Amino acid sequence: MTTTPDQIKHDLINHDVINHDLLRPVGQASARFFLVVAMLGLVVLAGFSAWGYQLYSGIGVAGIRRPVFWGFYITNFVFWIGISHAGTLISAILRLANAGWRRPVTRCAEVITVFALCIGAMFPVIHLGRPWVAFWLVPYPNERGLWPNYRSPLVWDFFAINTYLIGSITFLILPIIPDFALCRDKFSGWRKTFYGLLALGWRGTQRQWHRLETAMHIMAIVIIPVAVSVHTIVSWDFAMTPVPMWHSTIFAPYFVAGAIFSGIAALIVAMVFLRRFLHLEEYLPSVCFENLGKLLLLMSLLWVYFVFAERLTIWYGNQPAEVAVLWLTQKGPYRYLFWIMVACNFGIPFPLLAIKKLRTITGTCIASITVVVGMWLERYLIIVPSLSRKFLPYAWGTYRPTWVEITITAATFAGMALLYVMFAKLVPIISIWELKVGMREASESMPSVVAVSKARPTVSERSEHETVGFKNSHRVGKP
């Protein structure tokens, strides 16, 4: 059954229902949950063992070789940093645009950002020849009088990613605080103390609400340039070097667009799964997918435009070194991957998203999955072919990943899912208070954010009727 915003308003007029439905997943843990965790855990463990083996034997157990010194690891790095643009950026934009349908979406998105960043940031370390001295990237005074080389894009990466990570964590935590408070009120036992700590003494006073609002507003504005800068700098890792088809001015916007593209896709996939497994059909209505789908469509078109622009200019410019790489991907051994990528990023998603009939939840979901795959391939096809065809033909080479790289890659996807599942267990994955506010707004049809504070229930009545709601609903998972 499809639901429209109006229906939501009517169905969810009762806070109890909201509380009940959204706290249920937090309250109880089914056998299925543990099975999933175990499965994902195994894969992650395999990944860590593979990394251990690599540390022990030397980076050579990976498939990288001369001249292709970067392979799966850096591909994953770029890919995951890209995914991380799902949340923060999108939710920030939507917040500022104050799109009503964003309310159930934002948190799912921001969570993706944080975890994707953590995973992505691991890869520069994993791919190092000597990870045990990775700390030399940190500027700290030492008797050698040596500092990091600030001219190196890798050092820029280091700072950019850390900034972004801190930023998006704050951006994630801030709006959770009231919900932590709610959990604190709802649960007893260890959970109460646990959420009590996380709630940072939230009482829901006017001042607190006001502070939260302003903080959120500032963060939303600040985080956007940060997010953009991050993937810009990642793209410069490549664009700054005189390598055929890397040394390109188009890379920064190209990468940012790609990042948002894959980010939205990842978000949609995540939401579909949440909706399905946590029975949040009412809370994640098709309108969200509808809108995100449109966004995805836009990015898909943008992506195709970038790819076309990039390749056309290289073909037309006809510089031997560049064209060699171009043909390697268009006609050479990489052609299959290339056309699969195009299919995944455009061929399949475009009809699914462009045709209204197909832009259903399943439709967008399928499209998103292909996009995620396609974007991973895109990163791979940016990195490997260029390196295997540099200027001196005598030094041309190839690249084959080994089981180590593949295991670690698989582990990161499992790791992402694992973290996500765990998070959903600990925190209401949909922002409860925002939903309530949104609902109240809808009912009073007062769209402006500023109005929210007026519309907000006072502490007394909140806690009052919530306790009521708690009493007369025994369906809430008992602590």
Partner 1 sequence: MAHRWGMAVDLDRCTGCEACVVACRAENNIPSVGEDQAQKGRAIHWIRVERYYEGEFPDVRVKFQPVLCQQCNNAPCEPVCPTYASYHTDEGLNGQVYNRCIGTRYCANACSYTVRFFNFFNPAWDKPLHLQLNPDVSLRQVGIMEKCTFCVQRIKSAEIRAKEEKRELRDGEPAPACVQSCPPRALVFGDLNDPESEVSRLARSRRGVKLLGELGTQPNVTYLQRNEWNDNNT
Partner 2 sequence: MRSRIRGLSLIFVGLAAVSSFFLWPTSSANSVKRRGIDSQDVFTPAHPTILDSLREFIGWRETPVQPLAFTHRKHIENQIACTACHKGVNQGPSAGIPDINVCMRCHTFFAKDRPEIKKLAGIFDSGQDITWQRVYGFSPSAHVKFNHAPHIHASVDCSVCHGDVKSMTVAVRAVNLNMGFCLSCHRAKQVSTDCVTCHF
Partner 3 sequence: MERRDFLKVSVLTGATAALSGCEKPAHTLVRFIPEEDLIPSVATWKPSVCTLCPAGCGLMVRVLPGEAEVVRNGKLGTIQMGLAKKLEGNPNHPVNWGKLCARGQAGLQITYHPDRVRSPLKRSGPRGSGSFQPVTWEESIREVVSKLQELQSQNQSESLRFVSACLRGQRHELVRKFLSAFGAPAAMVFDPLDEPVLRQANLLSFGQADMPSFDLAHTGYVISFGADFLGTWNSPVAQSIAYGEMRQGRPGNRAKFVQVEQRMSQTGANADEWIAPRAGTEGAMALGLAHVILKEKLRPAADNKATRLIAGWSQGLAEYSPEQVERKTGVPAQRIQRLAHEMAAHLPAVAIIGGLPLAHTNGLFNALAVNALNTLLGSVGMPGGLFFTPQPPSENAGSWSSESDFASVLLAGKLDGTKVLLLHNANPVFATPAVWKVRETLDRIPFIVSFGSFVDETSQLADLILPDHSPLESWLHDVPKSGTNQAVVSLAAPAMLPLHDTRAMPDTLLEIAHQIGGEAAKALPWENFQEMLQASMAPLRTADGINPPPDPEKFWSKVQEQGGWWSDKVRQAARSAIPQKQLVTEFAPPQFDGEESSFPFHFQPYVSQAFLDGSLAHLPWMQEMPDALSTVMWGTWVEINPKTAQKLAIEQDDLVEVRSQHGKLLAPLLVSPGIAFDVVAMPMGQGHESFGRYASGRGANPMTILAPMQVAETGSLAWASTRVQVSKVGKAKLALFSGGLFERPSELQQR
With respect to partner 2, which residue has the nearer C-beta, 345 or 409?
Answer: 409
Residue 137 CB, nearest distance to partner 3 (Å)?
18
Of the candidates 5, 201, 393, 479, which one interacts with partner 3 according to CB under 8 A?
393
By CB under 8 A, tell whether 333 contacts partner 1.
no
Q: Which of 171, 170, 178 is nearest to 204 (CA)?
A: 178
By CB under 8 A, tell whether 46 contacts partner 2.
yes
* Two tokens, residue 112: 């993706």
Instruction: Confirm if 407 and 422 have CB atoms less than 8 A apart.
Output: no
Residue 471 CB, nearest distance to partner 2 (Å)?
27
By CB under 8 A, tell whether 64 contacts partner 1.
yes
DSSP 103-162: TTTHHHHHHHHHHHHHHHHHHHHHT-SSGGGGGGGS----TT-----TTSHHHHHHHHHH
By CB under 8 A, tell whether 57 contacts partner 1.
yes
Handedness of CA 306, 310, 315, 321 (dihedral sign): negative
- Tell me how far apart the alpha carbons of residues 224 and 259 are, in angstroms, rounded to a whole number: 13
Residue 83 CB, nearest distance to partner 3 (Å)?
31
- Tell me how far apart the alpha carbons of residues 220 and 214 are, in angstroms, rounded to a whole number: 10
With respect to partner 1, which residue has the nearer C-beta, 64 or 274?
Answer: 64
By CB under 8 A, tell whether 229 contacts partner 2.
no
By CB under 8 A, tell whether 242 contacts partner 3.
no
By CB under 8 A, tell whether 132 contacts partner 3.
yes
* Two tokens, residue 304: 């195709």
Which residue carries 């643009």 as its tokens? 85
With respect to partner 1, which residue has the nearer C-beta, 189 or 320?
Answer: 320
Stretch 129-188 residues interacting with partner 1 (CB under 8 A): 129-131, 133-134, 136-137, 146, 148-149, 151-155, 158
Q: Which of 373, 405, 378, 406 is nearest to 126 (CA)?
A: 405
Handedness of CA 141, 142, 143, 146 (dihedral sign): negative
Q: Which does 221 bind (CB under 5 to 8 A by kind): partner 3, partner 2, partner 1, none?
A: none
Of the candidates 49, 163, 170, 463, which one interacts with partner 2 according to CB under 8 A?
49
- All residues at 6 or more sequence positions from 296 whose CB lies less than 8 Å from its CB, including other chains: 261, 264, 265, 268, 349, 353, 364, 367, 368, 371
Instruction: Confirm if 473 and 16 have CB atoms less than 8 A apart.
Output: yes
Q: Which does 152 bind (CB under 5 to 8 A by kind): partner 3, partner 2, partner 1, none?
A: partner 1
Size of the site for partner 2 (CB under 8 A): 21
By CB under 8 A, tell whether 41 contacts partner 2.
yes
Residue 4 CB, nearest distance to partner 1 (Å)?
53
- Tell me how far apart the alpha carbons of residues 44 and 412 are, in angstroms, rounded to a whole number: 7
Summarize as ranges the residues that interact with partner 3 (CB under 8 A): 55-58, 130, 132, 320-321, 324, 391-397
Summarize as ranges the residues that interact with partner 1 (CB under 8 A): 57-60, 64-67, 69-70, 124, 127-131, 133-134, 136-137, 146, 148-149, 151-155, 158, 237, 240-243, 387, 390-395, 397-398
Summarize as ranges the residues that interact with partner 2 (CB under 8 A): 29, 31, 34-35, 37-38, 41-42, 45-46, 49-50, 53, 57-58, 60-61, 132, 143-145
